[in-house]
Amino acid sequence: MDADAVVIGAGATGLFTALDLSLRGAKVVVIDRGGILNGTSGRMHGLLHSGARYVTNDQVSAKECISENIILSRIAHHSIFDTGGLFVSLKDDDSFVETFVKGLRDAKIPYSEVDVKRALELEPNLNKEITHSISVPDKVVDPFKLFSGVAYLARQNGVKFLLYDRVIGISGSKVMTEKGDVNAKVVVNAAGPWASKVSAMHSKESEVIEEMSTIGAMLVFDRKLNSMVINRMRPPSDGDIVVPYYERSILGTTAQVVEDPDNVKVEDEDVQYIIEEGSAMLPKLSGLKPTRYYYSVRPLLKGTGARSASRDYRIFDEGDMVTIIGGKLTTSRLMAETVVDKVSEKLGIESKCSTAVMEIPDAISLYSLSNTIGDEIYGPGYSLFRIEEYLQNDTA
């Protein structure tokens, strides 16, 4: 198979990259060892960031998040729920409030201070001892609804998908898989926490990929305890965010550096610690058992620690391979635009990005899949087999 570009990884960034390239006129092949959203992107918290979470330690990411929050809400409204977000402080957090508000202003993130009495009316399960409350434009996103649409649109524009096919070698811009070879002009490495392993297959002497994988564990409670995204108003830490997801609430998250994204374990004490921290905001959590937990592995830029690492992204230009590391699902469209600008230079393509202004279709509804994704996403996993059959159909 021949192509202008091969994209390795069918997660959020890989799918937006494939769509963007195809819209600019490139012939594209996407390869993934699993299905679409089989890795980090399909195991995210459900939060479409306003950027507020990063205003005190990562202003670049905060500004990127609020910009992309607005764009994704416009182009993929079927997959996004405008719940709003509430940052609340307890007595021990009071010294952080002024710093947080300044950060919101610097990042130009809309916010409003909410009277504590009003906050408790909006969210009756909040700790009655909260001292401050600030609303921000956090939202909830169903990643499968969003990215099944991105993948569907990419296939409509001629992208070929090789799913459940493992890359076993890369020679220049030739990618060898278990099922065959793909000859391309440029390879885009969008493999997330596996990007450094993919880069190591590249036959040329590659730039060192400065990646740091961190695990984030999340707990699912089989009841909806909050209607808005609830955040603790303090520096980002464990157990400080509760996301309402369909008829459930999801409490997160941890941040621990891991060496191997395929060899990860969540300890019982981590689960208990998350509950203890989360119950400071929502006391009812202390009397509930999570129905299950899950985790994702974040592909962060290497930093001094899991919490201090930036959520910004970086592109590594390796000649006929371009690798992208870092970022958030919220910023995946922007990340793809940036990497496709680089690839377009290599391919001699002058077309500009159009993904910020085009509507993403609701592919789930198009394929009449029963049940909401919320019924299964955080269980054994949501099956997208009908859409994946379409993506791999040569006559589609």
54-71 pLDDT tens trace = 999 999 999 999 999 999
Are the C-beta atoms of 52 and 85 separated by less than 8 Å? yes
Judged against a pLDDT cut of 50, whether residue 381 lies above it is answered with: no
Are the C-beta atoms of 280 and 232 separated by less than 8 Å? yes
The whole-number pLDDT of residue 236 equals 86
More confident call, 265 vs 381? 265
Whether CATH 3.50.50.60 fits 5-41+143-207+310-391 = yes
In 3D space, the residue among 131, 81, 306 whose CA is nearest the CA of residue 232 turns out to be 131
Q: From edge to edge, which strands make up the β-sheet containing 160-163?
A: 160-163, 28-32, 5-8, 186-189, 321-326, 313-317
Q: Give the separation between CA 237 and CA 6, rounded to whole angstroms.
A: 37
CATH number of 82-140+211-301: 3.30.9.10
Judged against a pLDDT cut of 90, whether residue 371 lies above it is answered with: no
The overall average pLDDT reported for the chain is: 90
Across 234-239, average pLDDT: 90
According to DSSP, the residues that pair with 243 across neighbouring strands are: 250
Residue 344 CA: distances (Å) to CA of 194, 257, 382: 24, 34, 34
The whole-number pLDDT of residue 221 equals 94
Across 91-119, average pLDDT: 96
Q: What is the pTM of this model?
A: 0.93
Q: In the chain, what percentage of residues exceed pLDDT 70?
A: 92
Across 363-375, average pLDDT: 56
* Domain layout of the chain by residue ranges: 5-41+143-207+310-391, 82-140+211-301
Contacts of 393 (CB under 8 A, 6+ apart): none
Distance in angstroms between the alpha carbons of the first and the last residue of the chain: 17
In 3D space, the residue among 244, 298, 295 whose CA is nearest the CA of residue 274 turns out to be 295
User: Would you say the C-alpha torsion 123, 127, 132, 137 has a positive or negative sign?
Assistant: negative
Across 149-156, average pLDDT: 95
CB atoms within 10 A of CB 368: 7
Residue pLDDT, tens place only, 177-189: 999 999 999 999 9
Across 121-142, average pLDDT: 97
